[in-house]
Chains A and B, each alone.
Chain A
Amino acid sequence: MTVADLFAILPQTFLEGLLLGFVYAMVALGYTMVYGVLGLINFAHSEVFMIGAVIGLEVFRFWGNPEAPVISNPFLLLLVALVFAAIGSGIMAVLVERFAYRPLRKRGSKSILVPMITAIGVSFLLQDLTRIYAALRHNEFNMQYRTFDALNTVLELPLQTTIQVKGIIVIVVSILMLIGLTYLVNRTKLGKAIRAVSQDMQTAALMGINPDTIISRTFLVGGSLGGVAGVLFGLLYTNVTPYSGVLPGLKAFTSAVLGGIGNIPGAMVGGLILGQLETLSGTYLPFLTNGNFGTEYKDVFAFLTLVLLLLFRPQGIFGQNVSEKV
């Protein structure tokens, strides 16, 4: 492969990275919002994401059954799936907060480890509950998304790039969701309350904001975004398992840290950067090293970049440097 060839595939690689980046960005927002408000790495968020993907899959199977479709238009079906996944995942995130994290907060433990271990416990629990569900209902571990020709049609774009219709949908939906979230956080009353609680929970409470309600709604918003991202992820990569959330969740969290955790634009940018890093390294590493270090090392590349960045900028790209209170 010549240098010219390498450049020729650059736009296509960039496009694939963009799709992946948007999915990461949407999941990363869930992590970053919860972290901003509670200072907690919500490990269960990756399972909220995975459950969104499963809900989408069930909507596709239930209303889009090929023999007797209730909704025959694939675009409408996808819209229904997105709405249901957003609601389902949002509620799931709220339930997790209500029954696992709130009791800890009420007890006033100061350790950061206690809520984090709880989050890991919730994540295990949700994984296996989904596994039981998949075993009982589908009698197998892997669940396949239904594919529609209308969504898989390949479109030609300039610069020798191609994109499937579903790719365009992913981009459009993610951009809409991200704009919506930015509006919500910066322009609405709820957004103001969320920002207040994340800055100082006690002072916010003194100003007449109920932190519990706001935290609950933060989880709702983050969970819904995760659910939508889950459906988009399932649509793009078609295979969903109870453990599908783990790796994207990890990457999304890495994106959030990359952008500066707790910072909403940072999470978006971090997700997009990580998506690019991963696809670029996945595509070019094999060529650059004569096939000795292949695509498998893309995660190494992503994590090492994170380590390097944190060494020079410990607060992430957009993070503010908070000095330690003594």
Chain B
Amino acid sequence: MNRFIFPFTLAFTALSILGALLMPQNGLTNLALLISVGLVSLGKIPAPWRSGLLAVLALTLTILLRLNPDDKLAFYGLLGVLVAAFLLPNLSNLVRIALGVAILFIAVPIAGLTNSFLFELGIQIGIFAALALGLNVVVGQAGLLDLGFAAFFAIGAYTWGIFGSPQASAFIDGFPAGGLPGNYLYLFMALAIITAAITGVLIGLPALRLRGDYLAIVTLGLGEVVRVFANNLDKPWNITNGPQGITPVNRPEVGPLTEFLKAIGAERLYGRPIDEPIAYSFFFYLLVLLVIGIVVLVNIRLANSRFGRAWVAIREDEIAAKAMGIPLLPSKLLAFATGAAFSGIMGAVFAAKQTFVSPESFTLQASINILAFVILGGMGSIGGAVVGAAAVTVLNIGILKDFSDLLNTWRQTGVNILGYNMANLPPQLNPAKYERLVFGLILILMMIFRPEGLIPEQRHRAELQEARQEAQEGGGK
């Protein structure tokens, strides 16, 4: 059986690439390409072939995206190649970096400059990925269940939101009326790290004396406390402007970036001028990539350090870890502070990107969503956190919306499917509105069939397999 996979993958990929180049507008060829990406990544084929095929596929998908920037399937295909390039074993680092740079800095911008939705999607994925990485340190690596994680995101967002907008002048005499100029964002990203980390320590100090479910409920409560304060601190001093939120939050200047794009002839290439919205989309796309890069790097370094090993030890067995001389509370506080810092810096970026901060974005729901990214991706695994965030974001703002549009067209044209006239479908059934339903189903099914997550951490995978074997031996009477 295995002997046939390699030739089949080769033939299928060649055919789908050929098909894509001959009929670039056909949806079926896109689907075939997506399947090829899957086959190449997951099938048993020699490593050099894998790298080569991934590169060719990335090139084809980029061409498709250049020809038709609205082609979302091609974009998802590229994301798939990206994930494969970074997570598959046996690829050389050169290949990984080359593919990563080509996709993130050439392919996506080429299409994104005409279809800014792609940037939007990239930015959202990046923001959620940073949150997932932060929570992954706390829950995945240190094993501390935090259900109020959105609080740290809120702290970061408000740190810039208050001072980068007219809001600060409402309670500080003599503060510039329009708030600090946008370029201060870079300074405030650093400050957001500090404020969020301090909040992490402040919340952690009482909460981390508790364990397991108690810790969960207390962090949940304290997370709500932060949100209630954000929601109500418009009196006695107007600090957060209450439920209306803060707007407009200043953004950094994109003049230099626009100049640069003009200098390399981007306008000529795309046949339309580089205006402010598209320049901002591109700018935040780059900024988010930069932040994610830093966060991932710091996270990898920390995970392999003395602290990372201490976290894992605490997660696996707190008492044993204590016996081996690991200081429990400081290690846990460090995990809380690190996780908070990761989401704090992204909070500041988020505030600038939205130009609007309101308590709405930091509900319990948000905290639970972040937790779900981590679980879905695979607890404790850095790649998993990113993939989990990407998968859910693509599903929510990509696939479900497309499916809604498809249903709407069917409804309008009155297509018959399995003898049912789609025109009779009630208008309330709009899949884009029911993301939670899909999300909930995915969570349940994942926990039943693949509790270790999409990209499991090595250690965790081994453990679950052991437990499964034990259960089989015990129950197999």
Contact = CB atoms under 8 A, between A and B. Distances in A.
A104 interface: yes
Interface in A277-316: 291-294, 296-297, 299-300, 302-304, 306-307, 310-311, 314
A35 B444 CA distance: 19
Given A125-B437, A128-B437, A139-B428, A118 B210 contact: no
B426 interface: yes
B379 A261 contact: no
A292 B371 contact: no
Given A109-B451, A124-B440, A310 B372 contact: no
A123 B440 contact: yes
A71 B444 CA distance: 41
Contact of A118 (B216, B364, B437, B444): B444
B428 A135 contact: yes
Interface stretch (B9-17, B84-92, B118-126, B229-237): B229-237
Contact of B428 (A41, A104, A132): A132
Contacts of A126: 440
A103 interface: yes
Interface in A108-131: 108-118, 120-129, 131
Interface residues on A, range: 35 or more
Contact of A120 (B232, B429, B443, B451): B443
B297 interface: no
B451 A121 contact: no
Contacts of A35: 213
Contacts of B475: 106, 108
Contact of A108 (B212, B228, B375, B474): B474
Contact of B225 (A125, A292, A300): A300
A300 B228 contact: yes
Specify the main secondary structure of chain B where it touches its partner.
helix
Specify the main secondary structure of chain A where it touches its partner.
helix
B362 to A, nearest CB: 15
A307 B221 contact: yes
A132 B218 contact: no
Interface stretch (B173-181, B346-354, B465-473): B465-473
A107 B428 contact: no
B439 interface: yes
A250 B220 contact: yes
A108 B213 contact: no
Given A104-B448, A132-B428, A124 B436 contact: yes
Interface string B205-227: 01101101110111011101100
B52 to A, nearest CB: 39
Given A296-B231, A299-B224, A310-B210, A108 B440 contact: no
B441 A121 contact: yes
Interface string A76-108: 000000000000000000000000100110111
Contact of B221 (A112, A121, A125, A254): A254
B368 interface: yes
Interface in B439-477: 439-444, 447-448, 451, 464, 467-468, 470-471, 474-475
A145 interface: no
A253 interface: yes
Nearest to B473: A108
A27 interface: no
Nearest to A35: B213
A136 interface: yes
B470 A121 contact: no
A246 interface: yes
Closest 3 CB pairs of A and B: A121-B443, A108-B471, A124-B440
